[in-house]
């Protein structure tokens, strides 16, 4: 895949920024969105220094539905074309807080699921008409099975996985690649309060896997690789056993 005219939604996320850095050194043109305007501007400046041919930042709140309309078109206009859309935004709140706050639940679903679907649906229409392109979304192993500690986040990522599967089938034979990335535990600011262990990976490690998968036109990847086998076991645990576990 060319990956030279790229929209990254969630350009201020750890993974989004790392992907942008890898593409910048290749001379790509990048359209970045993020909620934190100051950080977004700083990242944009850094990417220009690294070699990006063009960087266009846009402040964007994924919970504000009207702002999402036309995002893909705005990116394509700014970059004089578009070949890749990466959705890397995410919100991982404490489940105990979500249980008591309906607004936080709605925000979790809006950022991780509905906002992603609106943007990627527009990307699908754009690339389908163009006849080529690549759609990439950052899901999560949390979407494979609901756990008491993060089931709101997991439900959103599970919904995103089903949506991506539908897009992939819809766009089969249309010249559009659809990739879902399912990271395990990643050491980012979003997970700063979590105790870290041997299963945790750096954003750089995960980003390397993502870019390789994009280049190879993959459909679904777990990253790091061992999460595929961990989640295979977890998905096949009998429900009566699974509900008794605490992890």
What whole-number percentage of the chain has pLDDT above 70? 99
Number of domains into which the chain is organized: 1
Query: Which residues have CB under 8 Å from 168's CB, separation 6+?
Result: 178, 219
pLDDT on residue 133: 97
The answer to whether position 164 is within a domain reads yes
* 94 has pLDDT over 70: yes
CB 153 within 8 A of CB 89: no
Mean pLDDT of 177-185: 95
* 197 has pLDDT over 80: no
Query: Which residues have CB under 8 Å from 21's CB, separation 6+?
Result: 46, 47, 50
CB 213 within 8 A of CB 221: yes
Phi, psi of 199 (to 5 degrees): -85, -5
pTM of the model: 0.94
The answer to whether position 48 is within a domain reads yes
Express each pLDDT in 211-234 by its tens digit: 999 999 999 999 999 999 999 999
The answer to whether position 76 is within a domain reads yes
Q: Tell me the CATH number at 194.
A: 3.40.50.720
Express each pLDDT in 156-179 by its tens digit: 999 999 999 999 999 999 999 999
Q: Which domain holds residue 117?
A: 5-242
The answer to whether position 247 is within a domain reads no
The answer to whether position 192 is within a domain reads yes
Residues recognised as catalytic: 153
Place of tokens 């036309």: 70
The answer to whether position 223 is within a domain reads yes
The answer to whether position 152 is within a domain reads yes
Mean pLDDT of 43-56: 97
What is the distance between the alpha carbons of residues 27 and 35, in angstroms, rounded to a whole number? Answer: 25
Which tokens go with 36? Answer: 């934190």
The answer to whether position 27 is within a domain reads yes
* 6 has pLDDT over 80: yes
């Amino acid at each position: 895949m060319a990956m030279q005219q790229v929209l990254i939604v969630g350009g201020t996320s750890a993974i989004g920024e790392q992907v942008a850095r890898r593409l910048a050194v290749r001379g790509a043109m990048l359209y970045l969105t993020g909620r934190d305007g100051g950080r977004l501007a700083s990242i944009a400046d850094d990417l220009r220094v690294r070699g990006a041919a063009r960087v266009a930042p846009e402040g964007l709140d994924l919970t504000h539905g009207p702002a999402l309309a036309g995002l893909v078109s705005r990116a394509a206009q700014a970059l004089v074309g578009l070949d890749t859309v990466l959705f890397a935004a995410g919100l991982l709140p404490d489940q105990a807080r979500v249980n008591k706050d309906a607004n936080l639940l709605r925000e979790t679903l809006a950022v991780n699921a509905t906002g992603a679907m609106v943007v990627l649906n527009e990307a699908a229409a754009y690339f389908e008409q163009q006849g080529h392109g690549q759609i990439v979304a950052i899901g999560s192993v949390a979407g494979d099975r609901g756990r008491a500690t993060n089931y709101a986040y997991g439900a959103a990522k599970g919904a995103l996985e089903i949506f991506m599967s539908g897009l992939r089938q819809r766009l089969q034979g249309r010249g559009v690649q659809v990739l879902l990335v399912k990271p395990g535990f990643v050491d980012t600011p979003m997970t700063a309060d979590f105790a870290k262990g041997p299963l945790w990976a750096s954003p750089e490690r995960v980003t390397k896997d993502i870019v390789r998968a994009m280049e190879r036109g993959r459909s679904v990847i777990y990253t790091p690789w061992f999460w595929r086998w961990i989640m295979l076991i977890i998905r096949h645990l009998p429900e009566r056993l699974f509900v008794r576990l605490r992890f």
